[in-house]
Amino acid sequence: MKASPLQIPDVVVFQPTVFSDDRGYFFESFNERKFSELVGHAPVFVQDNQSRSVKGVLRGLHYQIANPQGKLIRVLEGEIFDVAVDLRKSSPTFGQWVGAHLSSNEQNQIWIPEGFAHGFLVTSSHAVVAYKTTDYWSPEHERYLLWNDPAVGIEWPLTSEPLLSSKDQQALPLSRAETY
């Protein structure tokens, strides 16, 4: 497994070693020992989530102000552009974003630690996304950061207006958002 830290080095893209032959393929999607060696600690994952979305759906940017979640995200079908925004006030990268293309063809994953807002845009006809979290979903603590806040400046690979949930349509800009 190869780990590639992004411009915010706490956010890491993982590329597994895939073994392929005429029968198909095999790879380890998670190995706690290797993961902890690569990121410096072994998070405890307590929940797995999965979603299916059509092209143009933008989910996010979501975070929990209490019970923050670290997330290990991968794509089972299709392709997405995945984004993390640093909401840690004490961080030198506060308010900055990083993004990575994830796809079922590449089998890559992204680790987003606690303290970040997370979102993704579906860039293929559809995508099935699965992710592990380090804490449970806490609806009363969930918050929404505006996906197109000019102060953050995310460069989404959009071809048209994204499809948003009603919650995401009412998200707050960074200047008004609760942060860590």
- How do residues 124-153 score in pLDDT, each as one tens digit? 999 999 999 999 999 999 999 999 999 999
| Catalytic entry in 41, 63, 126, 131 | 131
- Three-state secondary structure of 133-154: ECCCCCHHHEEEECCCCCCCCC
- How do residues 81-101 score in pLDDT, each as one tens digit? 999 999 999 999 999 999 999
CATH topology of domain 2-176: Jelly Rolls (2.60.120)
Structure token digits, residue 11: 């956010």
Q: Is 62 one of the annotated active-site residues of the chain?
A: yes
In angstroms, rounded to a whole number, what is the distance separating the alpha carbons of residues 154 and 144?
Answer: 15
Q: What is the pLDDT of residue 170?
A: 97
Share of the chain above pLDDT 70, in %: 100
- Three-state secondary structure of 22-73: CCEEECCCCCHHHHHHHHCCCCCCCEEEEEEEECCEEEEEEEECCCCCCEEE
pTM score of the predicted model:
0.96
Write down the number of H helices and E strands in the chain. Answer: 2, 13
Confidence of residue 32 (pLDDT cuts 50, 70, 90): very high
In the chain, % helix, strand, coil (3-state, to 5) comes to 10, 45, 45
Burial class (CB in 10 A: 0-12, 13-18, 19+), 109: buried
Please state, in angstroms and as integers, the Cα–Cα distance from residue 43 to each residue in 6, 72, 75, 131, 149, following that order.
19, 10, 20, 13, 30
Q: Is 90 helix (H, G, I), strand (E, B) or coil?
A: coil
Q: What is the pLDDT of residue 3?
A: 94
| Catalytic entry in 62, 63, 118, 144 | 62
What average pLDDT score do residues 37-56 get? 95
Q: Is 83 helix (H, G, I), strand (E, B) or coil?
A: strand
Q: Is 101 one of the annotated active-site residues of the chain?
A: no
Confidence of residue 49 (pLDDT cuts 50, 70, 90): very high
- How do residues 57-67 score in pLDDT, each as one tens digit? 999 999 999 99
Q: What is the pLDDT of residue 8?
A: 98
What average pLDDT score do residues 103-113 get? 97
Q: Is 108 helix (H, G, I), strand (E, B) or coil?
A: coil
Q: What residue segments make up the domains of the chain, in order of their start?
A: 2-176
Q: What is the pLDDT of residue 47?
A: 97
Among 24-38, 68-82, 162-176, the range scoring the smallest mean pLDDT is 24-38
